[in-house]
Amino acid sequence: MFLPRNGTSVVRLCRGLHVDDTENNRSGDDTLAGDELLMREVASGDETAFSRLVDRHNAAVLNTCYRILGNREDAEDVALDVFVQVHRNAASFRGDSTLSTWIYRISVNLSLNLLRKRRRDRYLGFLSLSEPAGKLAGRAVRAPESRRPDRELEAEERSRALDEALATLPDKQRAAIVLHKCEHLSQREIADVLEVTPAAVESLVHRAKQSLQKRLLRALGEP
């Protein structure tokens, strides 16, 4: 498998990122024609093209993975896997959807796979003598390190409450609300990523909003 040999590795690119819950850096010229050309260059072994692809999509991938997983370290690992898969399957990209939609789909699927593995390991762990049940039960999702030393406590608490609330949602609801609210994808784009109908996306987002509102109000001590 080809990986960049000029020092601009996917790992190093991802390590330099920070989770940003404001806006992603998706390029406005992410057209189907441009996608196909870029992926042909990547498939041919063009290291510069692969670095350009990672630069264009890395923040959106990491944000999506983090918001689904709630854990910075896991999000970085999955983001790396996403780009490895993108590179490995570059030759199979046919432009049936935009490149960003294709990459979002890989990001969501790999993140949800890790969530399912976590749950399976957690449940099976209770049957194992290799790790005390109390240790398994006491595991908590780690909040990301603060990027600004002067960040206000109220903002940290709000972010933590949101991450904890997101962690309680069913997988597809979590993916839909993350893509809608954090990545600002349209209903049609989310439907393409999750491979469901726009009506299903609307329902998923609506139910996720209702659940989040109840849990966040409860976290604030409001009825």
Helices 198-219, 187-194: axis angle to 10 degrees equals 100
- Give me the pLDDT at residue 187, please: 94
Give the pLDDT confidence score for residue 190 in this predicted structure. 96
Token pair, residue 73, equals 């370290």
Residues near 41 by Cβ (< 8 Å), separated by ≥ 6? 49
Task: Tell me the whole-structure pTM to 2 decimals.
Answer: 0.69
pLDDT score recorded for residue 87: 93
pLDDT value at residue 58: 94
How confident is the model at residue 32, as a pLDDT? Answer: 58
Low-confidence ranges of the chain (pLDDT < 50): 1-30, 126-146, 148-150
Q: In this predicted structure, what is the pLDDT of residue 123? A: 52
Q: What CATH class is the domain 10-219?
A: mainly alpha
What local confidence, expressed as pLDDT, does residue 163 receive? 84
pLDDT computed for residue 223 by the predictor: 54
pLDDT confidence of residue 143:
41
Predicted local distance difference test score (pLDDT) of residue 139:
40
Place of tokens 């689904």: 68
Residue 217 has a pLDDT of 80
pLDDT at 30: 45
Going from N- to C-terminal start, the domains of the chain cover 10-219
